[in-house]
Structure 1
């Protein structure tokens, strides 16, 4: 019995030593910093938007080239995307955070405002006739609501690889990873919109690549409902460059107020007024 006890004690000591070493290693790792990590607290960002008190920020992150991010934000949150190099491409999907079955509908986003090209004042609508978010500022004006993002099959043909951890992840693959963080599945993902890399429609109906407006562009969207925001930062599928080229994407968010009758965009058209009224009625009934 004594021998067994000694063996037991020795095993316990070895386990405790191992746990202690693991804890020490984990705590040592906490001092390491990556430029692609979220800034916590958000006020620690080195790139606070002009005119915004850093202490008011609720989200601050630099998304890696070929990376993704995701967050749930409150109604009235203002989200700013910055393209510091001219090579970012933010593929964006939005869900109603309260009822994720309500999600971005690209067709209605083009149809309701009678405008297929995204820009300042453009609503991003769900299929339920409500405005999920509004583009409230835009210095880039190079966006796309036609093509969606890249698929695994597309990237495998073009770059030879599409694995999320590989050198050329697909936008769809990264959005699927982001979606799982919120209990969503592949089938829940609608087509995305793309910011900072533009596409226009030619007279013959084909797509004309516009590319970037250059370094320093920014886009701000306003959450009209509580949102799940998914973003993949990957090359646009129509980017003619043969290499996998994409730049860093900066994301910052802070609390603002949702659109109401005080804003000129509220009643810019009868269709928009109805969509905003639908959104406000839903939010008030739900106590949002």
Structure 2
């Protein structure tokens, strides 16, 4: 045992001395104390309304349980972040993000503002409400399996509970011959915001894209901010953006009405 922690009193002093230490990945920051600039919609949110504030470094993962209607903003601070996101329904975690259906049912291979993330039950899990990046990926899954498994374990979930992820800030395109391009990043300071249409367990990992060159790939800092809001409603532009989106929102609203959570 280290001499600095050989006794209970010494161990306590050592632990308390770590307060304020800097690291590439910082855990949740209490509301009102977020030390970084806020961009996009988050810039107009009073600090004390934040329910999640975190700086995620390279190779780090995190998670949160968030209410229906919550806005989650991800910001690529220096142009090198690669945010892999998995969503599971908080009150029924067997319902989860289905990227295959998100692509084929909604006819949307390339995510952007207004697009819907579908669950495996045909419901809208989340909506992309803002996007200043334009470079995302729902075709390749993630290279963050171990990170996701660690984050999922905090919610009593295991490896089999983690589906393929949606990836933000590192976009790929499909060529005419079916090949995939190397991931492209739009540059520093770009952000994307999701509106949660169901209460969700959000699993988030910041690690290289599966198609990135392992010899040169680096991952930059990711900022995560979330605050309360409202879910998409009939009459909102996204609700009627396509017949498929409308059915997904209707499926979500019908289920929430039945559960008394609409």
Pair in the same fold by TM > 0.5? yes
Task: Answer whether contact 1:92 1:232 (CA < 8 A) is retained.
Answer: yes
70, 76, 84: which one pairs with 2:69? Answer: 76
Work out which of the residue numbers 233, 238, 245 in structure 1 matches 2:211: 238
Q: What corresponds to 1:278 in structure 2?
A: 251
Superposed, 1:166-177 pairs within 5 Å as: 171-177=144-150
User: Helix, strand or coil: the match of 2:224?
Assistant: strand
> Is 1:19 aligned to 2:12, yes or no?
no
Q: In the TM superposition, what are the counterparts of 1:44-123 in structure 2 within 5 Å? A: 44-47=33-36, 48=38, 49-123=42-116
**TM score, norm. by length of structure 2:** 0.91
Q: Unpaired segments of 5 or more residues in structure 2?
A: 1-5
Does the 8 A contact of 1:81 with 1:219 survive in 2? yes
Residue 64 of structure 2 aligns to a residue whose secondary structure is strand
Match of 1:147 in 2: 140
**Which portions of structure 1, spanning 4 or more consecutive aligned residues, are displaced by more than 6 angstroms?**
none
**Displacement of 1:241 after TM fit?**
5.9
Tell me which residue corresponds to 1:196. 169
Considering fraction of residues, name the structure with more helix: 1
For residue 18 of structure 2, what is the aligned residue in structure 1?
29
Mapped to 2, the partners of 1:39 and 1:68 lie a distance apart of: 12
Partner of 2:119: 126
Q: How many residues align?
A: 252
> Alpha-carbon deviations, 1:79-130, whole Å to 9, x = none?
0000011110001110001010000001111122211111101100011010
| Superposition RMSD in Å | 1.6
Structure number with larger C-alpha Rg: 1
Q: Which runs of 5 or more structure 1 residues have no equivalent in the other structure?
A: 1-16, 151-170
